Structure 1
Amino acid sequence: MDFSLSEEQEMLQKSARDFLSAECPKSLVREIEAGDLGYSPELWKRMAALGWMGLALPEEYGGAGFSLLDMAVLFEEFGRAAMPGPMFSTTVGALAVLEFGTEEQKRTLLPKVATGELIMTMAMAEPEVNEDPRFIATRAESHAGGYAITGTKLFVPYAHIADYMLVVARTEGAPGDDSGLTVFIVDAKAAGINLTPLVTIAADKQFEVVFDKVSVSDSDILGSLHKGLPTVKAVLRKATAIQCAVMIGGAQQELELTAEHTKTRIQFDRPIGTFQAVQHRLADMFVDVQGARWTTYQAVWRLSEGLPADREVTIAKAFGNIACQRVAASAQQLHGGIGVDKDYDLHFYFRRAKAFELSLGSTPFHLKTLEAELDS
């Protein structure tokens, strides 16, 4: 497999890096983290003007018609810049609608996503379930020609600014059943939705969302009634692969910050980067970043080509979790005290690395999944 980027992808990478360096400095990231919105509307508009929101959407829906692999290149740059905002949740939601939505749903939602007018998010995790969607207990009961959703969702990103949520609810059966799940496209401002902000290590905006008999219609169903588990798994596969790309971008920046620091930090009358033990640690960081990158891009490439990718996504996330934690720890150790100084930039990546490790499947979850794959 050829892992080199195409000329078009290299241009996308360079333009994104240049844009984010100029338009998303760490001063803006600090301002966003301290604010209530969790993103910059001005930056969002400028990114929409570049066509990034619709990068992987077909041209007929206002997109650019690029591939998921191209999208991963862009999201790696978002990770490198530690850019906060609903770009990830909106992209995941849009890709779900593109793959499983009706033509009416696509034409209603996707053009507005492409222009930056519409923000999406996904509500899946619950107090009793974070990784296995089969155990979702939120109910959608048949009511007045549609359904009424009741239940509690956790860790819903950017729910306070979202226009629509993809809500996974149980329309029949009991928690643990393979059948009975349905995905609904829910108006995020509908009556009966209550939000409670959560405090997160990454300082992103996540919410507990309580649904109290929220009304939806048959036309709001994404995919098939009662048969939503394959839909959820497909959405999570792409979301996990894209998040791995974000993780790589952050780890790459940690490596570069650390390498630069070891060139200028003087100890015993010489840069600490001249010490062999420091060089060994930097080499280990480089190997981890490269290993995480190529396992991720293999998974993304297979998804982009429509090939089976369950095993590759699982490997990418499991190894990415481990590798990015090692990189984060090594970066802190080689920086010393300045690494935990919030006036320095390293903490952005350290905090995000831990948050990413715990979302979309922890390391034990993916290792257990891989074990089952290998045994089957």
Structure 2
Amino acid sequence: MDFSLSDDQRAIAEMADSVFRDYCTDERMREFDLDDQPFMLPLWQTCIETGLHALAIPEAFGGSGMGITDLYCVLKAQGAGLGLVPLWQHQLAAACLAEHAADSQGELVEQAAAGSLLLSLSLQGLAASRGVKLQLVGQGDQLQLQGQANAVDVAAQADRLLLVADSSDGPRLVLLDPRSEGVELLPGIANHGLAVADVRCSNVPIDAVQLLPVEALAWLEQRAIAAVAAMQLGVSGEQLRRTVEYVNQREQFGRAIGTFQAVQMSMADCHIAIESLRTSLYQLCYRLDSGLPSDSEAFATRYLCTEAAHLIGHKTQHVHGGIGVDLTYPIHRFLYWSRHLSLVLGGSAATLERLGDWLANNDKLGWKYDLDENKNLC
């Protein structure tokens, strides 16, 4: 596997790294903690000015038309900087509309690419123990949306939401205006600081153009998994880097605690978890950009992402000792982010169950089945 990036991708990664590191300093993060803002609005404006908000939106609609690997470069930098902006939610929602509802929602996608309109999405119901709580119910010749979607990112600030609703054809994506009659928003804050809101729907009329085709859900979910995993890779990588720096400076019993075998083994476990996630994520990005089936790769990446979030988040927090619980010290933010990202698309147990179900129903797995000379085996 070739892990190298193209020259263009390296340039994108360097620009994104510069944007997030310059803005998301520890001092500014402390200021945001005390500020009553839904997300980092000046940083979001910078993302619009630099085009980072529209990398994955097709060129035909005003975006950059780049792939998931290019988006990975940006989201990894966002995770390392802990930049609280709805970057992946906005452009993956727009890209999904461009791919599956271009005829009816093309103008909306163009506005999203221009930055004049904010989109968000939520897929949490797919992995919730109670299942999808939004329902599409037929009332005569009209469909109505009933139920609730919990903790939707920036729902109160977004102009449109892509939500999962259960229907007679199974789960479907529905495009919802959060200001429609019958929609109630209950605002809150996620544990890493981003504004969220529960979206409650009571007999909300849904037109046919708001309902995306069945295949749009899997298309979006696999790319959302790649996006969240890229952010987690950035969060965990920076968390581990800071921790290694700390244990090499912090002394106990006359020497740096980084020389203790138990600390070294903990850091080695974290490094292995990061590299496992990186390898699986690279494969997923490659397959998505190549138009190859990615069901099992997405679930495997999601599982490794949730496991890395938990392991690295807690091991790095632990070796910081008492200073790790001091909220004026920045390391706790990485744990909050890891906790949020590990649950946003379902935890490790839910993901492993879905992967097991997929494997039980598919007896062909692996790269060899994608090769031309083996097409007759499929």
Rounded Cα–Cα distance in structure 1 between residues aligned with 2:114 and 2:134: 35
Cα displacement (A) at 1:99 = 1.9
Deviation at 1:75, TM superposition (A): 0.5
> Cα deviation per residue 1:342-371 (whole Å; 9 max; x = unaligned)?
111111110111122122121111212222
Q: Which amino acid aligns with 1:245?
A: A
| 1:221 pairs with 2:211 | yes
* Structure 1 residue ranges, 4+ long, deviating more than 6 angstroms after superposition: none
Count of matched residue positions in the alignment of Structure 1 and Structure 2: 361
Residue 346, structure 1, aligned to residue 322, structure 2:
no
Match of 1:139 among 136, 143, 162: 136
Contact 1:164 1:187 in 2 (8 A): yes
The CA deviation string for residues 257-287 of structure 1, in whole angstroms up to 9 with x for no partner, is 0011012112222222233332232222212
Q: Report matched runs for 1:125-136 at 5 Å.
A: 125=124, 130-131=127-128, 135-136=132-133
**1:160-179 to 2 correspondences below 5 Å:** 160-171=156-167, 173=168, 179=169
In 2, Cα distance between equivalents of 1:332 and 1:125? 27
Counterpart-to-counterpart distance in 2, 1:363 and 1:24: 29
Deviation of 1:302 after TM superposition, in Å, equals: 0.8
SS at match of 1:213: strand
Residue in 2 that maps onto 1:201: 191
Alpha-carbon contact 2:79-2:233 (below 8 Å) kept:
yes
Is 17-26 or 344-353 further displaced after alignment? 17-26
Question: What is the alpha-carbon distance in structure 1 between the residues aligned to residue 136 and residue 208 of structure 2?
Answer: 15
Tell me whether 80-89 or 308-317 shows the greater mean CA deviation.
Answer: 80-89
Equivalent in the alignment of 1:176: none
Is 1:28 equivalent to 2:28 in the alignment? yes
How far apart in 2 are the matches of 1:369 and 1:215?
A: 32
SS of 1:233's equivalent in the other structure is helix
Equivalent in the alignment of 1:65: 65
| Structure 2 counterparts to residues 141-160 of structure 1, below 5 A | 141-142=138-139, 146-160=142-156
Q: 2:264 aligns with which of 259, 279, 298?
A: 279
Of residues 303, 308, 322, the one that matches 2:307 is 322
CA distance in structure 1 between the aligned counterparts of 2:102 and 2:138, rounded to whole angstroms: 22
Aligned residue among 231, 235, 243 for 2:216: 231
SS at match of 1:222: coil
The code of the aligned residue for 1:273 comes to G
* 8 A Cα contact 2:33 2:193, kept in partner: yes
Aligned AA (1:120): L
Alpha-carbon displacement from aligned partner over 1:144-174 (angstroms, at most 9, x marks no partner): x653322211121111100001133344x3x
TM-score, normalised by the number of residues in structure 1 = 0.89
Q: TM-score, normalized by length of structure 2?
A: 0.88
Unaligned runs of 5+ residues in structure 2 are: 362-378
Taking the aligned partners of 1:214 and 1:248, their CA distance within structure 2 comes to 38
